[in-house]
Amino acid sequence: MTSPTASPTLASLEAFAYLDDTGRIPTHVEGKVGIYAIFDQDHKLSYVGYSRDVYLSLKQHLVRQPQACHWIKVKTIDRPSRTLLQGIRDAWIEENGSVPSGNEAQADAWNQPIDAKLLMTDEDRAAYEQSEELGKIKVLKKVARRVEADILKVLEARGVKMDLRFNPKLKENGLLDLK
């Protein structure tokens, strides 16, 4: 377990904007192992996570939950230690006084690829049902591309200027995740 001096309290860390002035996630966390807390526009804790590359994880969360990603607090560590990171995560959640929705009810929305199949129109469903295997893949890719375009519009409205590339293979299954 970590000692109190080894892990800062959530309140002691400085919050910084999710996106910098150039519309990008600040790169000082790129390639860094650490733990992070994500806050919404009103500074309400939305999610606490840890990663071997904080930057890549923050990028995924921004795509999956753009409305909830406005502020970040990060603590990086030199050596990966799941036990240490889980201990800090648990302490931050306890300090918060309640489990953030991203760590409980909405955990899949924060951690799993976006399931574009859930956003199929009646027309999409009918085309899918009437198709053979290759036709089904085409329908799923079409739906995934439409959902991707919608996500990119939301992110553009937020001022995001980063290059975001979705995994083309997952689109065949109606899923969206960054490559």
Q: Which of 28, 103, 18, 112 is nearest to 66 (CA)?
A: 18
- Residue 3: the pLDDT is 40
What would be the CATH architecture of the domain defined by 16-111? 3-Layer(aba) Sandwich (3.40)
**φ and ψ at residue 158, rounded to 5 degrees:** -75, -10
Instruction: Give me the chain's average pLDDT, please.
Output: 94
- The mean pLDDT value for 73-85 works out to 93
Residues 6 or more apart in contact with residue 45 via CB below 8 angstroms: 10, 37, 38, 39, 96, 100
Residue 167: other Cβ atoms inside 10 A: 13
Q: Is 5 a residue whose pLDDT tops 60? A: no
Largest CA distance in the chain: 62
**In the chain, where the domains are located:** 16-111, 114-176
- Residue 7: the pLDDT is 80
- The mean pLDDT value for 16-37 works out to 96
Q: Is 79 a residue whose pLDDT tops 90? A: no
- The mean pLDDT value for 34-54 works out to 97
Residue 154: other Cβ atoms inside 10 A: 12
Helix axes 133-157, 122-129, angle to 10 degrees: 160
- Residue 90: the pLDDT is 96
- pLDDT tier, 80 (very low <50, low <70, confident <90, very high otherwise): confident
